[in-house]
Amino acid sequence: MQIQSSRERQWTILSLIQWTVSYFKSHHIENPRADAEILLAHVLGVDRIDLYLRYDQPLHTGELSRFKLLIKRRIQREPIAYITGTKEFWSLDFRVTTDVLIPRPETECLVEKALVLLSGENALRVLELGTGSGAISIALGSEKPNHHYFASDRSVSAVRLAGENAKRHKLNRLISFFAGDWFRPLNADGVFDLIISNPPYIRTKEIDRLEPEIFQNEPRISLDGGADGLRCIQQILVQAHHHLKPKGRLLLEMGYDQREKIQAILNSVSDYENIAFFMDYSGHDRGVQLEKKS
C-alpha cells in the first residue's frame, strides 16, 4: 500500500477516508467505509462524526504513519474491535482483547430477555457463565443495579478484563467475578434466581469455515461447542437446575439451527418447565428460556 507522505501530498481527513474505502474494497473488506472511519477516528482521538465536521483538516506525518499500520492490520483480517481495543455493546464501551470473544449485537437479545425477568423490585441473585469481557453482566447491572451479580469464566485473563470493564463503568462493587469451569467453583449454597450464558455453540468442523476475522483471531475456546455444537449447552442444561432456586430461570444463547436438538436434550431432562425459544433481530432462533420446576 502506498500512502504518500505529507511532503508529496497533503492528505485531508476526507481524502484519506475516500482513498481507504477504495483500498479496503480492493481487499474485500466487508464494511469498508465504516472501518475506515472507525480507524481514522481512533488514530485522531475523535468521534466519527467529528471526521465530517473537520473533513478538510490535514494530517501530519505521524498520524499518517499510525493510520497506515492500522490499515495493514485490517487487510490481514484482524477485527476492528481488536485493533482499536474497544467494542460497543448495549450502548456501553467495552475493552476487548484476543482473550475474549467480541460482543455481538445478537447477544443483546439475551440481555433484553433477562431485563424482563429482573424487572421486579426484589433483589435477585444472578449468575453469568462464560462472561468474557463482562458485557452481559455489566449491561444488566447498568440497567438493574438492585440485584446481586456473579460472573465467571474459565479464563483468568478474561475475568481480569471483565473486572476492568466493570470498574470502567463504576459497577465493580455490584458484580463479583471469579474464575472457573462452568459450575465447578460453586458449592451447595451457590443457588441463583437467574443463570444466563452465551456458551460456545459452533460445531468444531465449522470454525475454520467462518470469516477470517473470527477463526484467525477470536479465542477458539469461546467458539468451539464440540462436534455437534451442543457440548457446553448440554452440560449447562443438565447441571443448572442444581444451582437454581425453585422457579428460577435459565437463559441460554444458541445457534440458529439448534432448536430441535436442544429440545431433544430437554426431553431427557425433566427438571424444567415453561420452555420458550426466542429469536434475534434477524428472525433467527437465538436463545432458550427455561424455568426450574418448583
Task: Look at residues 137, 161, 158, 159 and name the one whose alpha carbon lies nearest to residue 149.
Answer: 137
Alpha carbon distance 194, 247 (integer Å): 9
Q: Which of 76, 95, 126 is the last residue of a domain?
A: 76
Q: Where are the alpha helices (DSSP H) in the chain?
A: 13-26, 32-44, 48-53, 61-75, 80-84, 108-117, 135-143, 156-168, 212-215, 231-239, 259-267
Q: Are residues 97 and 195 in the same domain?
A: yes
The whole-number pLDDT of residue 142 equals 97
Polymer length in residues for the chain: 294
The whole-number pLDDT of residue 121 equals 82
In a domain, 239, yes or no: yes
Q: Exposed (0-12), middle (13-18) or buried (19+): which is 119, by Cβ within 10 Å?
A: exposed
Task: Look at residues 146, 145, 179 and name the one whose alpha carbon lies nearest to residue 162.
Answer: 179
The whole-number pLDDT of residue 6 equals 45
Alpha carbon distance 243, 187 (integer Å): 9
In a domain, 25, yes or no: yes
Contact criterion met (CB below 8 Å) for 143 and 115: yes
The whole-number pLDDT of residue 94 equals 97
* Angle at which helices 135-143 and 156-168 cross, to 10°: 30
pLDDT means per 10 residues in the chain (294 residues)?
Answer: 59 95 96 97 95 92 95 97 97 96 95 95 94 98 96 97 97 96 84 97 96 95 95 95 95 95 92 94 94 92
Q: Are residues 204 and 127 in the same domain?
A: yes
Per DSSP, the three-state class of 103 is coil
Whole-model pTM above 0.85?
A: yes
In a domain, 5, yes or no: no
CATH classification at residue 191: 3.40.50.150
* Angle at which helices 32-44 and 13-26 cross, to 10°: 140
The whole-number pLDDT of residue 228 equals 95
Phi/psi for 84 (5° steps) reads -85, -20
Contact criterion met (CB below 8 Å) for 10 and 61: no
Q: Which of 76, 108, 125 is the last residue of a domain?
A: 76
Q: Are residues 31 and 176 in the same domain?
A: no
The whole-number pLDDT of residue 125 equals 96
Q: Which of 52, 76, 100 is the last residue of a domain?
A: 76
Number of structural domains (the chain) is: 2
In a domain, 66, yes or no: yes
Q: Are residues 31 and 136 in the same domain?
A: no
Domain range for 238: 86-292
Q: Are residues 56 and 139 in the same domain?
A: no
The whole-number pLDDT of residue 120 equals 84
